[in-house]
Amino acid sequence: MFYSSIVFRPGKIHKVSESQHEEVYGATFAEYTDEQFEEFLQPLLHRLSANGVKPEEVFGGKKVLDAGCGGGRGSVLALRSGARHVTSVDVSSQNCETTASRLGNLSLPNDRYEVIQTSLEDLPFDDSTFDVIWFNGVLQHVARPTICLAEVVRVLRAGGKGWLYVYGAGGFYWRVIREFRTIFADWTVDELITTLKNEGVSQDRIAEAIDDWKAPYLRTYRESTILQALTDLNCNSIRLMRGVSYDTNEQLYQGASADLLGEGDLRFIFEKLGTAKAELSSGVVQELDGSHLADEKSLAMQSDLNAEQTIASKLQQLGNYPNFDSKNLASTAIQVQLRLRNVFLRFPTVASALSCLDSIPTP
């Protein structure tokens, strides 16, 4: 493996969750084969294309920060699209090793990229260092989102562009995931990964399940909150509504029910307007740092109260986990998770939502 470009700059790492990030993200991303990684990269290319965004125009000749690089998807995308230099940062040492290995396999000069283990709360870069920020699926998982978002914008130059993706609040999917997070709260990540592997679940689906069930922080946001946060930080932004077929923003674009999907996936392109001192308003700080999944209040499927009663009963039964042995519990949960991903997110109807819960025994 290729490690020579990894630099350790710890900054102010939030110690409470550092080891959990290592387990949840480091362990799963490291397991991707080259073929699986390439498949994992394709949805990013599709989303950019569907929204009329050309990667070579975004990244070509630019200095890029991949903030929270995970397994290196954004970094590979940027370098393949002609980025002049990519800096990949992550709090997980395993993710840094995985990303460095991926980038080393691109056969590029070492001066085209670097991988730095550090916290997003205290980035070791001067103001206005980067032309482009890639911040994909990270903000909802950090300990202090407001600090991380402000730091990411701080190191972007005036006129520079950013990509931001966070989970949108509400909808059936997150309602079920909240139940899983309660059920598996006392399970270790290793126990879950081993159990799901023994069930014959593919690596990409295991990674998705572990991300949803065991991430130390999992928040969902309203579009208005993210738009206001970017405005507070002197950025213009536009929400991107198109995506792959299973993206909830794409489903909303096609006319699916917001009752089922909530706010949908929240993806934005933003541009920093200037370097004047900026800070987040108190209301935005409260919502960004406090919108934990467990705090969501909107649960009822108001469009169909009979379906709502069935869903509530099924989830209550699943939550009665002492009636399951551990293997059957995990087996039932992953069957629900797979149907959420493969059926409900592709065909979001009341009927498909109910079908996701078929494997849960009736009380």
CATH class held by domain 6-170+220-294: alpha beta
User: Stretch 171-180: mean pLDDT, rounded?
Assistant: 91
- pLDDT-based confidence at 96, cuts 50/70/90? very high
Segments making up each domain of the chain, as ranges? 6-170+220-294, 173-212+300-355
Q: Are 317 and 333 in contact (CB under 8 A)?
A: no
Give the integer Cα–Cα distance in Å for 336 and 188. Answer: 20
Residue 332 has which token pair?
């039932």
SS3 content of the chain, % helix, strand, coil (to 5): 50, 15, 35
Residue 33: C-alpha distances to residues 98, 141, 190 (Å)? 11, 24, 19
Could you read off the pLDDT of 255-306 as tens digits, one per residue?
A: 998 889 999 999 999 999 998 889 999 999 999 998 776 555 445 566 778 8
- pLDDT-based confidence at 7, cuts 50/70/90? low
pLDDT of 219 over the 70 cut: yes
Q: Across the strands, what pairs with 164?
A: 135, 268
Give the integer Cα–Cα distance in Å for 337 and 213. Answer: 10
